[in-house]
Structure formats: C-alpha cells, structure tokens
Structure 1
Amino acid sequence: MNPAQLSTLLAILDEGSFEAAAAQLAITPSAVSQRIKALEKQVGRILIHRTAPPTATEAGEVLVQAARRMALLQAETDARLRERLDRVPLSIAVNADSVATWFSPVFRSVAQAGEATLRLRIEDEAHTLNLLRRGDVMGAVTRESQPVSGCDSLSLGVMHYRAVGTAELRDAFRLDNGELDWAAMPALRFGPRDALQDEDLHGRVQSATLGQRRISNIPSSEAFVKACCAGLGWALVPELQCCPLVESGELVCLDDEVLSVELHWQRWRLESRLLEGLTRAVVDAAHQVLEQKD
C-alpha cells in the first residue's frame, strides 16, 4: 500500500472533509481525491462514503485500522530514531586546510555538549560532497553551494590561498627574463586529489608539461607547511597559515595571485539536537575567521 494514500485516508476521516484533509496535508483537494480514487482502484472497493462528514465503508475500516497501526509504528520509529541520533557519533567530512586553520573551536563545542562523539573524515573540499551523497557523513565542508537532496546548505565564507616557497627555491628556478619556471620547480600536493594545485596552475604551466612536474605528496597539513619551509617544493597554502611565515622570512610569496575558495556547510535535513548544535558551532567558527561574501 502507498503510505501517502493511507495517510490521506486517515486525514479525511480525522479532519471531517476532503478540503480539511488537503489543508492538513498541505496538498490540494484535487490531489486528495486522486489519492483516494487510486487507492480504491488498487483494492477494488469503495473505501469512503461521500457524506458530510465522510465515513469509512467496511473495506475502508480494514484499511483504516492498518493505516493507524502503520502510523503508530512510524511515530514510534521516528521517536526512537531521534533518540538514537542524539547518541550516535557525528560523522562529518572536512578539508585539511579548514581543520588546520578555523575549525578547532568546533571540537570545544562538541566537547561541551557532553553527549556527542565526532568522526572526522579528512577529504579535499571538492570531494567531501561525495561522502554526503553516499550517506557516509551527516555534514560536510564543501565548495558546492547547491544543496544535495535532503540536505541544507549554509555559507561559511571564503578562504584565500597564496603560492609560496623558500627564497632559495624561487631563486633556483628563476628564468633569465625574471619569471619563474613553474613547470620545472618542484611542487607539493596534499594528495592525488588536491584539485586546488591544478586550478592554480592554469595560465602558468602548459598542459603538455603537467605530467613532467616533480611533485611530492604530503598528506598532513602540518607536515605540508614544514615541507614547504624546508624547500621540498612550492605550495598553495591558506593565507591564515602562510602569512606569519612570510612575515618572518621563512617563506616568500612567489607571485601576487590569490586563489579564493568559497566554502559551504551542507548537512542532513534532519531533526537532531546534536546535529543542530554542530551546525551552529561550524558556522560560528567559520564566520569568526573567514572572509564573508558581500
């Protein structure tokens, strides 16, 4: 049986008319009538006496009893599920740069909630949404503003990245015309799915030479910056991390370009006190540090 049709049958009898049922279900009276006709066609019986108020036929009474049992079971299941959701770990996906820069206040907020545990998946912000689509996580920091089906999307702000390296590395790969040899200069990537590095190279390196570059993969945000300071390669680093190092002289900006990435928080559209609290913590932490869009 179609649950929507059964709930419509109950609404008509409980509310006393097709019109009142439509208002209660937030659909049109025509849709109510169509659902009942479809249900009657399916069972081959008239289910409702079209009187004022409408009443159930014998066949209708059988379905009404079944529908009420299903409604009760659904209500009990929803209640138990909400209880369980307030106890299960909060699984979320966050990019490493966010964890290293603005995300840490979220840990304190979850700790203060007292009931939650956190399961953090580190993934590039261009790919965290895949984990959300598959249902692997309840929330994700992502570049995508368009919400996944069944999710809400909130703007977090903008992260700015600069291409940085040591002065020695810059000087070693400076061409005669003063420009940098981006194709020959060794580079750092967080991992094989580090899309930011590739985006930043558009206009700097010809596509024919991309496969010939020397690249070191450093899948740790702290180690990534240390490797850059050691001269292992140039890197695309958040301004929040690299600005103090540039000021101290450990690193230099290799050009004036700034890559800006808009971040969003997408989360399941689900009634859960802890998930609501987590969302507030993520948004508050981001808004305190990240530049906000106009």
Structure 2
Amino acid sequence: MTELNSDQLRTLLAVIDEGTFDAAAARLHVTPSAVSQRIKALEQAAGAVLVRRSTPIQATDAGLVVLRHARKLALLDLDLTRELGAAGREGVALSVPIAVNADSLATWFLDALVSLAPRTDIVFDLRREDQEHTLELLRSGEVAAAVTSIAEPVQGATSTPIGRMRYRAVCSPAYAEAHLGGVAHIKRIADAPYVDFDRKDQLQHRLYHAVIGTGGRAPRHYVPTSADFARAVIGGLGWGLLPDQQCAAELERGELVRLGGARSIHLPLHWQRWAIASTVLDEVTAAVTTAARASLI
C-alpha cells in the first residue's frame, strides 16, 4: 500500500458523512468529478474498494479501516491548526461524530455540548443508537466517541464510567384502571399492553420476562423517539420504563403511578472515546462527564 494522500482521506470522510458524491463536493468546495477521482485514487493507493456506491454511500470493511484512520488524522490536524492559530481559515468545520442512546440524548447529553464555548472549527454529528449497540459504531470507526452501557473498552479506546440512569416502571392511573384492574402492580402486566422504543430495546422485555417468566405475549407498541415514548406512557398507551428525568415530576403530580413490586433499574453508562491525544476529544470528554454527573446517579 502506498502512502495515503490527506486530501483523499478528507474526501473519504466527506463522502461517508454526507452520503453522496454531490453533497461531499459541496462540502469540500470541489466538483463531484474531483470527489470521484480522489476516491478512485485512494482506493488504488489502499489496494481495496473503500466505498459502496449505494444511496447513501457506505464504507466497505476495508473502507471502515481507512475511515477510522482518516478521522483520527483529522482530529490531530485540527489540534495542530488550533495551536498555530489557523483554525477555521479553510472555512470547513471538522465533523465530530458521536454515538449516544436516545434517553441520554433527550435528557442530559445536549447539556454537555451546549456548555462548550461557541466554535466554528467543529460541528457535532450525533448518531442515535441503543446503548448496547453504540460501541459497534465506535469499533467500526464511524464515530469518535460513544455513550454506552458496556464498560469494556473497544480496541484503541478508553472507557470512563459517567453514572447510572435510573428507570422506573410506571403507567398512568387511567391505564391501571383499564388494564390492571385498578391496581398498579407489576404482577398484573401479563396481558397488558406496554411500550417499547424499538426492536433493539430490551428493558421492558427483560422486566416482563423476569416477572412473568415466559416470552412476551402482551401487546406491544413501538414508539421510536424518547420524548414521544414518555408521552405514550403518560397518555396511557401502555406501561413502560422511564428514566427519572422523564417521570419524577409526573409521579409527583399524579399523572403517573409506579408499578408496585417492580424494582428500579439502574443502567450504568460509560463514555468511550479513541485513545489519541486530541484536545477536541479532551474538551468534549470533560463536558460530557460533567453533565452526566450532574444528571445521573
């Protein structure tokens, strides 16, 4: 493999992040033909096909390896330009992709990013994924950091515990009256409808299985946004597990009731990031850990 060209690596980042050659060309202020030529040249230098010409464009297995390398170099290059006082001169902000679970994104994670000083040299590309699956994006090189429930760091990354998110099994009083015989107790959920975030969400299923002892047979609603998931439970569509940040006030006002007999679930969260000397990742890490520890238990 010959030495990889920095312009070609930046072009690979733009193509994967933007999803099309045309969008990458607009981001880089070059023509789509120039983007195509750079990708072809990079593939020749790497000795492998790096992207699938799909919609959106996706990295191949070999492409993910080069993509991870390109992202790390881009972070290091930004550190250098900032030290030289040249950040932002090229007019193209560096995209910092981060994987984060939906409940963190809806409750505390954005506080971390907005706490950072206004910046023109970086932008954040948040990838929403289940907390048990965010590491797949970090491992592949698609993101530079991730909020995850898994403590063991992936190769080439560091892992820091940032707190626990407490979930409570709750339902609305009207739901308890209609589906639980007026008694909000976990033992009565066998045939009662519940709410799941999506088909990767296992929190409700695990609680159901622990209580009922069989596979799920109750009707299940899928509501794939965190705020709307909470609204569905508050509105009486089904019972569900909500983090403290989305149910404490409603419990106090009587809009929700706890399911008796159900223990709270404490979900440990960790911040994993590439183990490289990057002031950008250092700043984001400090902001994330501060915001998490102010909100989580």
Q: Report TM bin, short chain.
A: 0.5 to 0.7
Partner of 2:102: 96
Deviation for aligned residue 1:176: 9.9
Select the residue among 183, 196, 206 that pairs with 1:199: 206
CA contact (8 A) 2:176 2:184 kept: no
TM-score w.r.t. the length of structure 2 is 0.66
* 2:138 maps to 1:144: no
* SS of residue paired to 1:89: strand
CA RMSD across the alignment = 2.4
Structure 1 residues not aligned, in runs of 5+ = 2-77
* CA shift in 2, pair 1:172/1:275, >3 Å: same
* Aligned residue number for residue 82 of structure 1: 76
Q: Could you tell me which residue of structure 1 aligns to residue 172 of structure 2?
A: 166
Query: What do the CA deviations read for 1:93-143 (whole angstroms, capped 9, x no partner)?
Result: 111111111212222134524421000011111111111111111101001
> Which moves more between the two structures, 196-205 or 243-252?
196-205
How many Å separate the matches in 1 of 2:248 and 2:167? 10
Tell me the CA shift for residue 172 of structure 1: 2.5
What amino acid sits opposite 1:289 in the alignment?
S
- Which structure 2 residue ranges, 5 or more long, are not aligned? 2-71, 82-92
One-letter amino acid of the structure 1 residue matched with residue 219 of structure 2: R
- Flag the structure with larger Rg: 1
Match of 2:277 among 264, 271, 276: 271
Q: Helix, strand or coil for the counterpart of 1:247?
A: helix
| CA pair 168-96 structure 1, distance change in 2 beyond 3 A | same
Equivalent residue pairs, number: 213
1:225 matched to 2:230:
yes
1:185 to 186, 192, 201: 192
Kept in 2: contact 1:165–1:234 (CA 8 A): yes
2:196 maps to a residue whose letter is R
Q: How far does residue 206 in structure 1 lie from its aligned partner after superposition? A: 2.7
Q: Structure 1 residues 157 and 193, CA, compared in 2 at 3 Å: closer, same or farther? A: same
Change (3 A) 1:235 1:176: closer
Residues 110 and 117, structure 1, Cα contact 8 Å, conserved in 2: no
Aligned 8 A contact 2:99 2:134 in 1: yes
Evaluate the alpha carbon distance shift between residue 277 and residue 182 of structure 1 in structure 2; reply closer, same or farther with a 3 A threshold.
same
C-alpha distance in 1 between matches for 2:282 and 2:77: 14
- Aligned residues with identical type, % of pairs: 38
Equivalent position of 2:294 in the other structure: 288
In the alignment, is the contact (CA less than 8 A) between 1:139 and 1:268 conserved in 2? yes
Q: 2-side partners of 1:81 and 1:170: how far apart?
A: 52
Higher deviation after alignment, 165-174 or 217-226:
165-174
Take 1:110 and 1:134, find their aligned partners in 2: how far apart are those partners? 27
Q: Does 1:246 align with 2:251?
A: yes
Q: Aligned letter for 1:230?
A: G
* Matching residue's letter, 1:203: A
Residue 90 of structure 1: how far off its partner (Å): 0.8
Find the residue that maps to 2:263 and give its secondary structure. Answer: strand
Q: Any idea what the Cα deviations from partners look like across 1:7-63, whole Å, max 9, x if unmatched? A: xxxxxxxxxxxxxxxxxxxxxxxxxxxxxxxxxxxxxxxxxxxxxxxxxxxxxxxxx
Distance 1:269 1:143, change over 3 A: same
Partners of 2:257 and 2:131 lie apart in 1 by 25
Are residue 122 (structure 1) and residue 122 (structure 2) matched?
no
